[in-house]
Amino acid sequence: MTVIAIDGPAAAGKGTLARALSRHYGLAYLDTGALYRAVALAVLDADADPDDGETLGDIALRLDLAYLDDPRLRAEATGAAASKISRHAAVRAALLDIQRDFAARPPAGKSGAVLDGRDIGTVICPGADVKLYVTASAKARAQRRAKDEADKGRTANLAAMIAEVEARDAQDMARTHAPLKPAEDAHLLDTTDLSIEAAFERAVAVIDGVLGRN
């Protein structure tokens, strides 16, 4: 059983990398951030108090997984809400078992799993075989988001996006429960000046080296 944990801030490219690595190694993939976004949507739809941890925890426990297919899942507002609700211990506890069970018993008979998020290597799977911390400068991450908006025919204010990225980082890193930070034994991968292909090649080199496949 091989477990690869990938953490990092928003828009660093960890999701794209995690999906590519899961295909390359034939492992199951879980986007843990999607779970928090799904809870955030349920919270928004319930018009619940974002500061009421107990109520938010109950919503997370009763999460309808249909929210994972909701077209609003990737909206900026959903991401911002997910960052806010994820600071509550009750929410994190409600989703903890789902994530750990996926890593311990990957679906479809897979021989392992790749999980990406913000606390995989530190909290969810501290015993993961390989841990990567994927990051990039705030400017580079904002530029990627601006490009995504342009590809959709929408204009974006780069300065505002940089401010949003920095605010999101500060919120994720400062939360009391499972703050965003690299695990002590994580391998740092800075994608600021890397293409998707180059980031993938570096990640594979790290993973193969750790697993003794070189």
pLDDT per position in the chain (214 positions), as tens? 999 999 999 899 999 999 999 999 999 999 999 999 999 999 999 999 999 999 999 999 999 989 999 999 988 889 889 989 998 999 999 999 899 999 999 999 999 999 999 999 999 999 999 999 999 999 999 999 898 888 888 888 999 999 999 998 998 999 888 899 999 999 999 999 999 999 999 999 999 999 998 6
Query: What is the CATH number assigned to the segment(s) 2-210?
Result: 3.40.50.300
Instruction: Tally Cβ neighbours within 10 Å of residue 141.
Output: 26
pTM for this structure? Answer: 0.88
Q: Quick one: pLDDT at residue 176?
A: 85
Give residue limits of the domains in the chain. 2-210
What CA–CA distances, in Å, run from 36 to 19, 47, 74, 93, 117? 18, 16, 11, 12, 10
Tokens of 74: 């990737």
| Residue 214, pLDDT score | 67
